[in-house]
A and B are shown apart, each in its own frame.
Chain A
Amino acid sequence: MVTAEVGPPKGTDIKEMLHHIEVLKGKIDAANVTDNQSAVMRISSLAVCQIVKENGLEPILQMTCRDRNRIGLQADLLGASVLGIESVLCMTGDHVSAGDHKAAKPVYDIESVQLLQVVDGMNNGKDMSGNDLQGSTNFFQGAVVTPEANPLQPQLIKFGKKVEAGARFFQTQAIYDIDKFKTFMEHARQYSTKVLAGIVVLKSAGMAKFLNNFVPGITVPDELIEELKAAGKEKALETGLNIAARHVKQLHDEKICDGVHIMAIGMEDKVPTIMERAGLL
């Protein structure tokens, strides 16, 4: 199983996004459509999911609890359901302070674990207040986890709660240390849920250092930074793609998890390259 991302743009020009959808179509199993990613205002995830679907790619609706209360979230879930969107990824969402509307009032009426409960309830014909739905949803609902959170134990407890709340699949934060990830998977395998390992392409040694210093929950091991440095500036991206492909291949060959979620961050057209080099295409 391979998933990637389609990032809705800020504005009504969707040419580049349509190009990304075209590149990914037929190659990956599904594409996550981000929901005002990093709290930066963009086209709504629901609208773009519909476009993704119309263009022949399976969408995964990312839903955060930052911008809508329980009424808005449930209304959009029903809307997604009637549009034929089948998968939903439930998240709390980055805080507004990370985005481009810092004065916004963050909602957080409910959070990720509770949103999973809501989806489970709607799949069983009930809204959050226990009212009967005239026609239930039939979502395949998932959640996110940070396998290298520091400290890890509280994160693992939350992982268990997400499974209990109905998460049937997980997409992880970016991982770069496969041995560490194997340890996480030993824990995850106690539960009957699917795990897709998060892969973020390293574009340079500088980016790797940035991730280490500024993005919580992501650790790029020193030997990968050295590998990128040794490649030199011109070949850094190629090396980054090779590292991603190598990790995807190892995860696949050793059946460490159930698939990968490739976050290309603006380089969606490189996703097929990674898959080819990993021997998946």
Chain B
Amino acid sequence: MIISKKIDRKKLLETIKDYNSFFLVGCSECASLCGTGGEPELEELKKELEAAGKKVTGTFRAKTGCQVLGTKVELKPFKDELADTQVVIVMSCGAGTQAMVEAFPDKPVYPSNDSLFLGNMTRFQMFDERCSLCGECILEQTGGICPVTNCPKGLLNGPCGGTSNGNCEVSPDIRCAWVRIYDRLEKINRLDDMKKVIKAKDWSKSQSPQVLSARPKKEGKKTK
């Protein structure tokens, strides 16, 4: 899921200081799990804005905020609240915010969160990053642990000289990605995988902005 974090409230209030009325959009997916865009957070921001003397015309939690068409349809019952608002505040990720930019071409749309990374949830509201969407998976060569993401240097061929008792030099609290890969390959009896040189990555595979049509080719639009 996309991991998000609340923007410093002072910064948000500074951004919106010229406006008086707001409509808040949360998201039932990632942002709810992150505690940044679920019902409690919508209610919390509503109260904070009202305490700051602002008007909140309505709140709404999208089913999947990055799903542009579906969210537009879901917003139909909120016609009046939306007509009354000057600004839409989106409490999900950058994709959700930009979905609303598309839905509201004539209103300012502001984010209440910073979008951080594609994360795994390890415990309630605890996340770590395991995949950086590089566009060219090498997990089959690295025992299923991604060094592009888990090594701060993205090393593809083994640890640097900074491993300290198996921990990372750059982030001493985490295990060295390549020590983890080594241990795992040993366990699954595939240590020879580590002896093969992994060639330089083709970073053009992750060049933004990306577009993809997963539709069957006949009816698909232009694919990348």
Segment at the B interface, from A155-163, A249-257, A265-273: A155-163
Interface size on B, residues (CB 8 A): 29
Instruction: For chain A, residues 89 to 145, give those with C-beta under 8 angstroms from any C-beta of chain B.
Output: 92-95, 97-98, 106, 108-114, 117, 128, 144-145
Most buried by B among A93, A94, A165: A94
B170–A154 CB distance below 8 A: no
A154–B182 CB distance below 8 A: yes
A62 at the binding interface (Cβ < 8 Å): no
A149–B157 CB distance below 8 A: no
Give the contact-size bracket for chain A.
Answer: 35 or more
B158–A155 CB distance below 8 A: yes
A9 at the binding interface (Cβ < 8 Å): no
Q: Given A95-B153, A108-B154, A111-B153: A155 and B159 within 8 A (CB)? A: yes
A114–B157 CB distance below 8 A: yes
Chain A residues near B200: list those with CB within 8 A.
Answer: 70, 109-110, 114, 117, 128
B122 at the binding interface (Cβ < 8 Å): no
Chain B residues near A153: list those with CB within 8 A.
Answer: 182
B166 at the binding interface (Cβ < 8 Å): yes
How far does the alpha carbon of A149 sit from the alpha carbon of B159 in the complex, in Å?
A: 10
Q: Which of A93, A94, A151, A161 has a CB less than 8 Å from the CB of B157?
A: A161
Chain A residues near B154: list those with CB within 8 A.
Answer: 108, 111
B155 at the binding interface (Cβ < 8 Å): yes
Segment at the A interface, from B36-44, B81-89, B131-139, B191-199: B191-199
Chain A residues near B156: list those with CB within 8 A.
Answer: 111, 113-114
Instruction: For chain B, residues 154 to 188, give those with C-beta under 8 angstroms from any C-beta of chain A.
Output: 154-166, 169-170, 176, 178-179, 181-182
A154–B194 CB distance below 8 A: yes
B160–A150 CB distance below 8 A: no
A144–B179 CB distance below 8 A: no
How far does the alpha carbon of A161 sit from the alpha carbon of B155 in the complex, in Å?
A: 13
B152 at the binding interface (Cβ < 8 Å): yes
How far does the alpha carbon of A52 sit from the alpha carbon of B199 in the complex, in Å?
A: 34
Complex: chain A residue closest to B153, CB-CB: A108
Q: Given A92-B155, A216-B161: A157 and B170 within 8 A (CB)? A: no
A173 at the binding interface (Cβ < 8 Å): yes
How far does the alpha carbon of A215 sit from the alpha carbon of B163 in the complex, in Å?
A: 10
Q: Which of B157, B162, B182 has a CB less than 8 Å from the CB of A217?
A: B162
B124 at the binding interface (Cβ < 8 Å): no
B195–A157 CB distance below 8 A: yes
A164 at the binding interface (Cβ < 8 Å): yes
A160–B157 CB distance below 8 A: no
A149–B161 CB distance below 8 A: yes
Measured between C-beta atoms, what is the minimum distance from B141 to chain A in Å?
Answer: 13
Complex: chain A residue closest to B196, CB-CB: A161
Chain B residues near A149: list those with CB within 8 A.
Answer: 159, 161, 163
Chain A residues near B161: list those with CB within 8 A.
Answer: 144-146, 149, 155, 173, 216-217
Chain A residues near B153: list those with CB within 8 A.
Answer: 66, 92-93, 95, 106, 108, 111
How far does the alpha carbon of A96 sit from the alpha carbon of B178 in the complex, in Å?
A: 20
Q: Given A110-B200, A113-B197: A216 and B163 within 8 A (CB)? A: yes
Q: Given A95-B169, A164-B197: A154 and B157 within 8 A (CB)? A: no
Most buried by B among A111, A117, A160, A173: A111
Chain B residues near A150: list those with CB within 8 A.
Answer: 163-166
B182–A161 CB distance below 8 A: no
Measured between C-beta atoms, what is the minimum distance from A130 to chain B in Å?
Answer: 12
Chain B residues near A97: list those with CB within 8 A.
Answer: 152, 170
A109–B203 CB distance below 8 A: yes
Chain B, residues 55-82, CB within 8 Å of chain A (1/0): the string is 0000000000000000000000000000
Q: Which of B158, B165, B169 has a CB less than 8 Å from the CB of A154?
A: B158
Measured between C-beta atoms, what is the minimum distance from B11 to chain A in Å?
Answer: 19
A157–B158 CB distance below 8 A: yes
Chain A residues near B170: list those with CB within 8 A.
Answer: 95, 97-98
Measured between C-beta atoms, what is the minimum distance from A190 to chain B in Å?
Answer: 13
- Nearest first, the 4 A-B pairs at minimum CB distance are A158-B158, A216-B164, A146-B161, A113-B157
Given contacts A106-B153, A114-B200, 14 further A-B contacts (CB under 8 A): A93-B153, A95-B152, A95-B153, A108-B153, A108-B154, A111-B155, A128-B200, A144-B161, A146-B161, A151-B166, A154-B178, A158-B158, A161-B158, A165-B197
5 CB-based A-B contacts, threshold 8 Å: A114-B197, A146-B161, A154-B159, A155-B161, A216-B163
